[in-house]
Amino acid sequence: MAKRVLITLLGIALIIYGLGMAMLGIVGERATAIITSVRRQGGERDEAVPGRYTYSIGYRFPLPDGRTIDGSTTRIGSSVYIKTTGTSTAPVRYFKSLPYFNALESHTTPAIGQLIVAIAGGFIVLAENRRR
């Protein structure tokens, strides 16, 4: 029973994430974030294209009420990257009622990947809860 609940919650989380990211691009509020950190994670990626690395990018953006929200994302890029100076900016999207659900604007463009994540979540929920 506990396993079923846990897997169902995982499926629901995937549905919320997939649909939420797509909805951010459509109805999310726009703000400008300051890039606060860029860190290269691990070594070179083991892919067919050499010289690719995974980067963790931290950012901070202000809300109209004066609060600041921190966020982070992961990107894959070349071995050359610019260190943060506190002046680099990037557009972000967030929900006005839930600003902690945010992402860089480039990640919120509705795409097939978000739909696949939501469908996978729905499949997990249905497969785990079908009548036996």
Q: How is residue 83 annotated by DSSP? A: P
Q: Which helix (H) or strand (E) holds 78?
A: strand 68-78
Predicted pLDDT at 126: 94
Q: What pTM was estimated for this model as a whole?
A: 0.79
Encode pLDDT of 20-71 as tens digits. 999 998 999 999 999 999 888 888 888 888 888 888 999 999 999 999 999 9
> What confidence category does residue 131 fall into, taking pLDDT thresholds of 50, 70 and 90?
low
Query: How far apart are alpha carbons 83 and 85 in whole angstroms?
Result: 6
Predicted pLDDT at 76: 85
Query: How far apart are alpha carbons 101 and 84 in whole angstroms?
Result: 24
Predicted pLDDT at 132: 59
Is the pLDDT assigned to residue 81 strictly greater than 80? no
Encode pLDDT of 106-125 as tens digits. 888 888 999 999 999 999 99
Sheet holding 98-104, edge to edge: 68-78, 52-62, 29-41, 89-95, 98-104
Predicted pLDDT at 1: 82
More confident residue, 53 or 131: 53
